[in-house]
Every structure is written in structure tokens, then in C-alpha cells.
Amino acid sequence: MDLAQALLQGQAGDRGLYLPRPLPRLGPELLARARDLAYPQLAARILGLFAEGVFRDDELQAICEDAYDFAVPLERVEGDRHLMRLDRGPTASFKDFAARFMGRALGRLVRQRGGELLVLTATSGDTGSAIAHAFQGVEKIRVVVLFPRDEVSDRQRRQMTTLGENISTLALDAKFDDCQALVKQAFGDPDLADLSLTSANSINIGRLLPQSVYYVYAASRLADIAGGEQVVFSVPSGNFGDLMGGLLAMRMGVPVARFVVATNANDEVPRFLASGRYEKIVPSRKCISNAMNVGHPSNLARIIDLYGGWMDERGSLERPPDLDRMRSDLYAVSVDDGRTREAIARAYRDHGALLEPHGAVGWVGLEDFLAACPERAGVPAISLETAHPAKFPEEIRALVGIEPELPASLQGLDTRTEHHRDLAPDYAAFKDFLCAEYRG
């Protein structure tokens, strides 16, 4: 199976998740040149390793030039500690990096091969808006976004529900995990085969491959990665697609000393790494870092696979991974809302760095790691800031006393008309909706 088939299909027929086999390596020439390449050029070079026979070099370059027309700032905060701000795209979220690539890549594939696609996406916050914007107006592709009604911020919701055209949004009185389960069940339903379903969640490999690029980009700016100089990344983690992108970059040759896996109170993965026993959190815990309110992350199965184990889609560990190796690569920490809020206030007071709840979880995770591993103090450390603070104005006003400046993508949102449909959180209702709206 090539990249095109994996993108178009989304999830494997047995409900498994695709991974590249074998994983390509970043050659010494690319590692040496990465520092001098602009982001779109670097993305085209890296993604080209997976797209052979699917997109010509000039096609892939055009996709990346169009997708990545925004800055990717690296902000030094203190000493060797940095923030990588992934919030400068059109929906002010790191999800733009994958969504814009997927929108352009799938749009081109549909034009070349004919037919239509129906993209199903569950969101805990930012995925839905990024996918909706990336696919809005793309011919022959329609999008359905499912979101938990009470666990997205007002601005996150409006970014999804004010678009219309080929974008439909469904509000469920449920958790993200419930929304994601409905999407997965639809993919495995033979009665819906005629709808040409695919996913834009991180169960689709097209979400993960573009996210590997910014790890290469950041590391190359702060270290001699061709010479083996190491870096540390702290990754706020919910469904673990972002971490999976980083692990792919490391396996391709980026010298990463450690990944800090920073979760909110949904601590199923930190507990698993500590004990070797995996227990889902049902229902997931509601935290201010809402996009990370995930009690059973889909991408954990991929991570387990990287380390020689096998986890099925229900979370049953059929074959244990190499836990010693996982613990060597991953330092996991859970950060509650109290520490998250303290970090937002402290970072602004002490350094003038404005964090939002997800980035604050990552920042606390990095602080904890460096306190526990002082031997890593001189290693360049990068914490990912995954959303714009203006998406969480109430928290920012309360904690630092300022109104976060609105990026262009959020201006005027509060006055736009919303369009969404309420849906019961059960599969029969979801299937009825899909059949009524998209069949025939």
C-alpha cells in the first residue's frame, strides 16, 4: 500500500492504524542542510521520502508552499529552554500543519483519480477547526466534525460552526473518546462502504507525517543534528499524535535525548509507563487543557508498536512493548489544572512568555524533567506551544491580567452565525445521519 491509499482510506480494514514500513532515514546531507532550508522546502524534502510514486517533486513542493505560508517561531525563554510556537497558522493551532497538508494532498488525489470523499473527524478542541478550514471549498470532499458540546472553548467551537459550505458539525453530549469511537465504528461498518469514508483524525497517517517535520525544523535551528548533538522536546499530549510525529522524526535520525510526555489529569499513559499496566480513563477527566481530555489515545497503539508491542483498538495489551526502552526515550508527567494555571502566571511574570493551558502543561513537564535530570541542563530544550492564548481569553485575563491579542484568524468570530446539529451519542443516530445526508 502506498501513501495515497493510506490517506484515502484513513483506517485499515481491520480497524488497525497504518505505519510506514520500513521507516525511511534522513540522510546526512539532509540533516546537514536542514538548518538552511525554509519550512516549506524542508517539509517537501521530508514528506517526499514517503510520497514516492504518489506526488512528483514539483507537486509536493507546491503543496507545501501553499500549506506552510506562516511563521514557525522558536522563542528563547531562559537559558537553553525554548518555546516552539505552532499557533501561527490560519486556525491558530498546531493542527494546521497536518490539516493543510491533508486538505491539499487529498484534494489533488481526488482530482487525479475521480470520485468523492467523506471525511469524518472527531475533535477535542482544535482538530475540528483546522480540518474544517483546510477542507472548506475543496471540490468533491465533504467533512463531518463531531465534538463534545461542553468541552470545547467558545472560540474553538465557532471556528468549526461558522463555515458552512461542505462542512457539517455535530455537537454531542459526550466525551471526545465517545466521538472518536463513533468515527472508528463507521469506518468498520460495511453498510457505509459506498460513502467513501476517510478520516482526518490522527488515526490517518496523513496527520502524523507532516507533524514530524517541525521536530526536524526546531532541532536543526538549535543543534548540530548532523553531528549528533541532541535536543529535548516536551510535548503536551492528549491523543498522542503529536508525540508520534516526534518519535517518527527520532527514528528517522533526529538525535533526541528525551521526549517529555506531558499530560493533564488524564494520566493513563504516565501510569502505564510507571507500572506496565494500561488502564483507560472512562470517562475522561475534564481539564482546562481541553484538547488533551482523552482517556484512551488512539496513537498509543502506534507507539506500542514502535517498541515491539501490540495493543488492539480497545486498549488490550496483547503483547507488551519494550518498557525499558520506552522509559529511556520518554519521561512522562501528569500536570493538574492548578499547576497549569500557576505555570501560565509564572511564565508571564518571570519571562514575559504568554502560554495557554496546553503549552503550560508542556512547560511544567519540561521543568519537572530538568529538575529530575540535572545532567540534561545544557541540552537545548524545546517545549511545544500548540494553540494561541487568544483561544482561552478567560483564563489569560484571570491569570495574567491582560487581554490576549487576537490573531487575524480569530477576529470577527464572535459575530458570525453558527450552524451545527445536536446528535445523540450513539452509533445508530450517527449512522442514520450519514445515510440521510450523504447517501444518494
Please state which of the four CATH numbers 3.40.47.10, 3.40.50.1100, 3.90.180.10, 3.50.50.60 is assigned to the domain occupying 3-35+94-204+416-438.
Answer: 3.40.50.1100
Element (H, E) at 108: helix 95-113
Residues of the chain with CATH 3.40.50.1100: 3-35+94-204+416-438, 67-92+208-400
Report pLDDT for 162: 87
Task: Name residue 38's amino acid.
Answer: A
C-alpha span between 354 and 348 (Å, rounded): 5
Calculate helix-pair angle for 176-187, 427-438, nearest 10 degrees: 60
Domain 67-92+208-400 -> CATH class: alpha beta
What 3-state class would DSSP assign to 346?
helix
φ/ψ of 72, rounded to 5, equals -130, 80
Residue partners of 130: CB distance under 8 A and separation at least 6: 89, 91, 93, 95, 96, 98, 99, 100
Joined together, the cell numbers standing for residue 201 give 483524525
The structure's pTM equals 0.91
C-alpha span between 115 and 101 (Å, rounded): 20
C-alpha span between 94 and 384 (Å, rounded): 9
Report pLDDT for 440: 62
What is the pairing mode between strands 317-319 and 310-311? Answer: antiparallel
Residues (pLDDT < 50) of the chain are none
